[in-house]
Structure 1
């Protein structure tokens, strides 16, 4: 498949340098968070310098003088792009606006992987955005695979407190030697801490950054009950503010680009706990269909009562509301609900 290069200038400088008083509250909070995680020497890369198109020919288009990239899905193909290099730890984010209307079966993914290098022992960190039938909200799933551990999965799924089709929202992955943190805007939604019991299943090999849109009809909406309806195509996902700041593979330690391990501030930890209590709709630690006993890193307490044996949340209130990859899916019940 031909590889095409494009030019897109991320606006990291604007994120880092804008005065918080001149930004909307959400943008100001995110700017403060990013500023606390990245060194002052962090610099922006153009799309041409940092990324390359993977597939989709004309289904990848640049807009706004090359400052936004659109990837679309139609009957012919999806589309995707990737970083030119691989990274060993870092902070990676993008502002994303998802397709609206009837999006059942559509999957938009923003993720890190080394599957092109380690076919059977690959690592992966995913944001997977799962489309839905008209009137139902998009869902967000995070996955953590280490050393080819797709059978172990470690998937979680969430509703959102906003409509991701109406505006851009930032999604970020912070990956260090000891921790992995997923963020939505300034809110951390999941933290994975390295434990001895995880061993090689904690992602540890250099990974590249990817963004794709593709047809997940076989599993993405109600376990495959609702397929992509191409009457509503093209489905367009918009990306901007692409931030790629990590340790290039093979760079000698210490590497300034790594988002070094640090204790999560109490305010952010409280925000994460509130998010998870209100919006998490599936947790692998509570799934007794796939796992007869919790995986070793799971600490399951009284909160397990909020989840069914399938790992799905008992209350539909957690699914949020309109206002409030590519190739495979391991396991059974992870994507069974709308």
Structure 2
């Protein structure tokens, strides 16, 4: 009987954390935009658009507490100055947790800025920014967040670009107790997004459109106040990402990206932090 119960529990845990190769109708709700967000191609493609009246956005039906989340995006083409395409995980409330990808548009022929940030218990300010080594507007590329109890790894097409480690032993809160939904939005931020707000949105180029496909969540669904993955040795056996670290190859690839494509790192901004860099910068 004990063996049967164990098998049932393993099957249940596996079901909760199963990879969800998604259908947008099943996995997401268009939450704002008055028709500017669309799910098409039998749920295989989602588009968001922005015009002078409004942008648009969506959110996941499920909440997650740890997982590996993948989404393919194709960003706004041409002159995207002033626009921001945000793709992120977030909980709710003043003390929310959040893990951000934000794509800051630019004038035609100039590169996008990929902006990343991590909030824990309402505190953010942990920005790292990158240029991409390809044009993100001509084809779909995969943007991934691996989130487990010890680290958050941001990746682009399988190449890690940033790691944020759990530094609770230093008194730094880490996102591990609040389930988060997946959100995305396309909106106008021409007061700051492009060259500090010096370049404004050219509305003659509207509508601006970003496209999404191939969502995959190999993650723990938060349901009825519980997650099968939280502090579970079973979860780590079923889901390798639950304890995943970067090997030497991944670390070398991340260092290559940061050396060649990072344009801002809060952990080196001594002008911003004249009294001393944030404590987590010693390990992140």
Whether TM exceeds 0.5 here: the answer is yes
| Higher relative contact order structure (alpha carbons within 8 Å, sequence separation ≥ 6) | 2
Where 1:133 maps in the other structure, the secondary structure is coil
1:244 alignment counterpart: 217
2-structure distance, mates of 1:128, 1:260? 25
Root-mean-square deviation (CA), in Å? 2.0
1:260 alignment counterpart: 242
Of the three residues 147, 152, 167, the one matched with 1:195 is 167
Structure ranking higher in strand proportion: 2
1:267-287 CA-partner distances (Å, limit 9, x unpaired): 111111111100000000011
| Cα contact 1:147–1:200 (8 A) shared by 2 | no
- The question of 1:279 aligning with 2:261 is answered yes
- TM-score (structure 2 length as normaliser): 0.85
1:213 alignment counterpart: 186
2:11 alignment counterpart: none
- The question of 1:269 aligning with 2:269 is answered no
Where 1:136 maps in the other structure, the secondary structure is coil
Where 1:100 maps in the other structure, the secondary structure is coil
Of the three residues 135, 142, 155, the one matched with 2:116 is 142
Of the three residues 62, 69, 72, the one matched with 2:46 is 69
2:84 alignment counterpart: 107
Unaligned 5+ residue runs, structure 1? 1-38, 301-338
Q: CA 1:160–1:127 in structure 2 vs 1: closer, same or farther (change >3 Å)? A: same
The equivalences for 1:114-193 within 5 A come to 114-115=91-92, 118=93, 120-150=94-124, 153-193=125-165
- The question of 1:53 aligning with 2:39 is answered no
Q: CA 1:95–1:45 in structure 2 vs 1: closer, same or farther (change >3 Å)? A: closer
1:181 Cα offset (Å): 0.1
Where 2:282 maps in the other structure, the secondary structure is coil
| Count of residues in Structure 1 that have an aligned counterpart in Structure 2 | 257
1:299 alignment counterpart: 282
| Cα contact 1:89–1:258 (8 A) shared by 2 | no
1:110-149 CA-partner distances (Å, limit 9, x unpaired): 100013xx2x101110000000122211110110011010
- The question of 1:226 aligning with 2:209 is answered no
1:135-192 CA-partner distances (Å, limit 9, x unpaired): 2111101100110103xx1100001110011111100000000000000001000011
- TM-score (structure 1 length as normaliser): 0.72
Q: CA 1:169–1:218 in structure 2 vs 1: closer, same or farther (change >3 Å)? A: same
Q: CA 1:91–1:97 in structure 2 vs 1: closer, same or farther (change >3 Å)? A: same
Q: CA 1:200–1:82 in structure 2 vs 1: closer, same or farther (change >3 Å)? A: farther
1:251 Cα offset (Å): 2.1
| Cα contact 1:99–1:237 (8 A) shared by 2 | yes
